[in-house]
Amino acid sequence: MKIMLQIGIIFGVCWIGEGISMLLPFPFPSSVIAMIILFLLLLTKALKVDHIRLKAEFLQKNMAFFFIPASVGIMENFDLLKENVVPLVTIAIVSTVLTFGAAGMTVKYLMRLQEKLRGGKEHDRVDV
Amino acid sequence: MIEWTSSALFGILLCIFTYEIGLWINKKAKTPLANPLIISVILVIAILQIFGIPLDNFQKGGDFINMFLAPATAALALSVYSQWELLKKNWIPVVGGALVGSAVSLGSIYGMSKLFGLDDVITASLLPKSVTTPIAMELSTEAGGIAPLTVAAVMISGIGGAMFMPFLIKLFRLDNPVAQGVASGTASHAIGTSKALQLGETQGAMSGISIGVAGILTVVLHLIFFS
């Protein structure tokens, strides 16, 4: 589908996300609402991957580019960054290690459990 | 002549060319440390400083680019959808892993922030740092944090996670590719995913899914516990 329409679809979903975000009684990022809407549209086949592929791939492949202006804003907070550099780096690294371990181990044990349960079921069937 | 830089085109051009330089250096250097975003940001700041160009002039173009952050986040839906079959088969471990990981991330950051005696603004800036940048930025600003500080923490988490990934996999004995992928995406978002892709296709796909899943779960946990 034409790139203009693809941009229109993605921007449209984002705009609807902003509207829903305003209606919600609690703060919820509109971009995440848009992501959920887009996912549901794809899942229900209301939208085909081809309807948004080019635009979505463009956005994803260049994702980091869109953060440049926001990151350059660090210029104005340079003193704050300098004062807190030790806790900031420590917290970022330690929590990354803990998060990595917690997520990985949970998956590992849940998959073992799942296999055991599935294995158990099959075993039952054999017994019957 | 400094007025010349107040055109939105100036900021956009500066971003495009510094980013291209960043991509080029990244290709040559082949280490997560030579991150294109970091290189670009350093170059932009250096150019603004050297020529005495006001940040506001640069941000006229910057505002235009910022507008694409939400669409870029929404586009994550496509990567989750394209791995739907894989996700359906493993949704319990994936969602479980991303949930526990996100909770540990928020909890450990909150605990350490208290330990270091950081104020509320900096704590709010750090809390969402494990998720992908656009979601982290939005959570941070909504909670009164400083977005650029959040971006810095997000980058450190991504680069740190990607660099130490082989070591972390050994440390936590993650022999399973799904576990490796979910851990990577939950802890180190897109930068982790590019490293996970090098480990294997399943790791990369699982890491990509986990960026979106952990993003949503972190938003929900953040909402319940911190607002």
Reply yes or no on whether the pLDDT at B155 is more than 50. yes
When pLDDT is averaged across residues B163-177 and rounded to a whole number, the result is: 94
How far apart are alpha carbons B207 and B187 in whole angstroms?
10
Domain range for A76 is: 70-128
On whether both A113 and A86 belong to a single domain, the answer is yes
Question: Does residue A76 share a domain with residue A29?
Answer: no
Last residue in a domain, options A61, A78, A93: A61
Helix pair angle (B201-226, B91-115), 10° resolution: 50
Residues A87 and A44 in one domain: no
pLDDT band with cut points at 50, 70 and 90 for residue A127: very low
Which of A9, A37, A61 is the endpoint of a domain? A61
CA distance B194 to B206: 12
Share of chain B above pLDDT 70, in %: 100
CB atoms within 10 A of CB A62: 15
pLDDT of amino acid A125: 46
Within 8 A of B51 by CB-CB distance, chain A residues are none
Q: Are residues A53 and A4 in the same domain?
A: yes
What are the DSSP calls for A25-60, one per residue?
SS---HHHHHHHHHHHHHHTTSS-HHHHHHHHHHHH
3-state secondary structure chain B: CHHHHHCHHHHHHHHHHHHHHHHHHHHHHCCCCCCHHHHHHHHHHHHHHHCCCCHHHHHHHHHHHHCCHHHHHHCHHHHHHHCHHHHHHCHHHHHHHHHHHHHHHHHHHHHHHHHCCCCHHHHHHHCCCCCCHHHHHHHHHHCCCCHHHHHHHHHHHHHHHHHHHHHHHHHCCCCCHHHHHHHHHHHHHHHHHHHHHHHCHHHHHHHHHHHHHHHHHHHHHHHHHHC
Quick check: A52 and B138 CB within 8 A?
no
Q: For position A60, what pLDDT does the model report?
A: 82
Q: Is A83 helix (H, G, I), strand (E, B) or coil?
A: helix
**Count of CB atoms situated within 10 Å of the CB of B67:** 12
A119 has a chain B CB within 8 A of its CB: no
Angstroms from B203 CA to nearest CA on chain A = 12
Residues of chain A with pLDDT > 70, as a percent, come to 92
Distance (Å, whole) CA A56 – CA A6: 8
Nearest chain B residue (CA) to A31: B70
More confident residue, A80 or B47: B47
The ipTM assigned to this model is: 0.90
Residues A56, A32 share a domain:
yes
What residues 11-70 of chain A have any CB closer than 8 A to a CB of chain B?
Answer: 11, 13-14, 17-18, 26-32, 34-39, 42-43, 49, 52-53, 55-57, 59-60, 63-70
Chain B nearest C-alpha distance from A3 (Å)? 14
Q: What is the pLDDT at residue B91?
A: 92
Look-up: residue for tokens 């250097």?
Answer: B29
Does A1 share its domain with A56?
yes
User: What is the reported pLDDT for A1?
Assistant: 63
What is the rounded average pLDDT for all residues in chain A?
89
Q: Which of A15, A35, A61 is the last residue of a domain?
A: A61
Query: How many angstroms separate the CA of residue A104 from the nearest CA in chain B?
Result: 5
Q: Are residues A56 and A76 in the same domain?
A: no
Does residue B222 carry a pLDDT above 70?
yes
A44 and A84 share a domain?
no
Q: Are residues A32 and A82 in the same domain?
A: no
Evaluate if residue B31 carries a pLDDT over 70.
yes
Which residue in A1, A9, A89, A91 has the most chain B C-beta atoms within 10 A of its own C-beta, making it the best mutation to test that interface?
Answer: A91
Please report the pLDDT score of residue A2 as a whole number.
Answer: 84
To the nearest whole angstrom, how far is the Cα of A39 from the nearest Cα of chain B? Answer: 5
Contact B176, A107 (CB under 8 A): yes
The answer on A78 and A112 residing in a single domain is: yes
Cβ separation A59–B75 shorter than 8 A: yes
| Same structural domain, A33 and A78 | no
> Does residue A56 sit in the same domain as residue A88?
no
Q: Which of A31, A69, A104 sits opposite B135 (nearest CB)?
A: A31
Q: Work out how many domains chain A is built from and give that number.
A: 2
